[in-house]
Amino acid sequence: MLSLSSRPTDRPLRILAFGNSLVAGFALPQKDGFSAQLEKVLSESGCPAEVINGGVPGDTSEAGRRRLEQAMALKPDLVLLEFGANDNLLGLSPAVLEANLEAIILGFQKCRIPLLLTGIAPLRDLGEAYRRDFSAVFYRLAEKYRLPFYPDFLSGVAGRPELNKKDGIHPNPKGVRIIVQQLTPLVVKTLGSLRWGPP
């Protein structure tokens, strides 16, 4: 895993949640969205950080790739990378998803910006072969680039009506809270493994 040799000391740690509507907090009050809830829980966990909402509803991995320079300009200390749901819903090829995610990963790594990769189980059933190939993309990239990895962003939330909005895809505030609670330990562990200050 990539670590930083130095970071600015005149601002709090900065985490960029870079993805689609799942991190954008689609149709939720700002305080109930993923970024705001993660920032609050991190602070309560003794690991205060600014969590920047870099989610755009509807974005595929290709759209994220087009936003890469804009994202890097924010100079985050850690990127939480979350794409794939819309690629699946649109029936896009897992090979295209992999190429786009790899380009995003390489872009951040070139700027020495660490990443935490999140995967997602397919939300649209396109057959067993597609499911297998789609899911394998995230595991393969996490292993290849030695990234901290959370396999399914919607683990424990997908398919549960009480945790989702009426569309059955986007988590409601309670669902977001569960995602954040489950993901926070890995975020804290990842932040703790980074090397701040002179080597």
Residue 15's SS3 state is: strand
Tens digit of each residue's pLDDT (9 = 90 or more) over 66-83: 999 999 999 999 999 999
CA distance 22 to 24: 6
Residue 7 in any domain: the answer is no
What are the pLDDT digits (tens) for 131-186?
A: 999 999 999 999 999 999 999 999 999 999 999 999 999 999 999 999 999 999 99
Is the residue at 199 inside a domain? no
Q: How many domains does one find in the chain?
A: 1
**Nearest-angstrom CA–CA distance, 85 and 75:** 25
H/E/C letters for each residue in 134-181? HHHHHHHHHHHCCCCEECCCCCCCCCCHHHECCCCCCECHHHHHHHHH
Q: Examine residue 137 and state whether it is found in any structural domain, yes or no.
A: yes
Instruction: Note whether residue 8 is domain-resident.
Output: no
Q: Tell me, what amino acid is at 115?
A: L
Q: What is the mean pLDDT of residues 15-34?
A: 95
Instruction: Kindly state whether residue 69 falls inside one of the protein's structural domains.
Output: yes
Residue 186 within any structural domain of the chain? yes
The reply to whether 64 falls in a domain is yes
Domain extent, residue 131, equals 13-193
Residue 38's pLDDT band, with cuts at 50, 70 and 90, is very high
What CATH code is carried by the domain that includes residue 60?
3.40.50.1110
The answer to whether residue 133 sits within a structural domain is yes
